Amino acid sequence: MRCPFCQNPTTCVVDSRAPDTGAIIRRRRQCPACGKRFTTFERVYLALPYIVKKGGGRVEYDREKLRSSMLIALRKRPVSPDRLDEAVDRIEQKMMLSGEREIRSSRVGELVLEALRDLDTIAYIRFASVYFNINDPEAFAEMIERAARDRADRRKAAEGDVFSVKDDEAVE
């Protein structure tokens, strides 16, 4: 790895760490020539499917474009960059596991909505309002109510308070 400060072609790895997901390795490096330290991130390059746009055009998948669109929805929300990157990693993993060479942009949008719903309800609402092109105040209010019900249901399920109808009938 070339030093970004003095362009020395050789640097030494001082520390390596892999986050929980293991998809990226963070390395602290030091240049023996100038003594400055810097951080690099290593990621395995896997060919992700091409994105098929609504109009039929095909474009290469762009991680930064996906991340930046999610970042807009998450602006001023209490979600760390690490959690955002983990969500993007999960979306990429689902795309790769699909085994498809091409994936519809609408499917990518669904994956983003799913990830944002798990990260932050407000970010989910922001993204969904643009994704579904909601211009009507009543439709927007309905979407917020649906998101609030969904969030409450997920909390109850996490706490173990949700029983199926069959369970309730068995008790009676």
Task: Give domain status of residue 84, yes or no.
Answer: yes
Provide the pLDDT confidence category of residue 26 given band limits of 50, 70 and 90.
Answer: confident
In this structure, of 24-28, 57-61, 77-81, 118-122, the range with the lowest mean pLDDT score is: 24-28
Residues 53 and 138 in one domain: yes
What percent of the chain shows pLDDT beyond 90? Answer: 60
Q: Which domain holds residue 95?
A: 45-159
Note whether residue 67 is domain-resident.
Answer: yes
Give the chain's domain count.
2
Is residue 168, in this structure, part of any structural domain at all? no
Judgement on whether residues 123 and 152 belong to the same structural domain of the protein? yes
Query: Is residue 19 located within the same domain as residue 78?
Result: no
The tens digit of pLDDT for each residue in 86-128 reads: 999 999 999 988 889 999 999 999 999 999 999 999 999 999 9
**One domain, residues 25 and 52:** no
Predicted pLDDT of residue 155:
84
Looking at the domain assignment, is residue 87 inside a domain?
A: yes
Check if the beta carbon of residue 90 is closer than 8 Å to that of residue 115.
yes
Residues 12 and 28 sit within 8 Å (Cβ to Cβ): no
Query: Of 28, 44, 60, which residue constitutes the final position of a domain?
Result: 44
| pLDDT for the residue numbered 48 | 85
Mean pLDDT of all residues in 32-55? 88
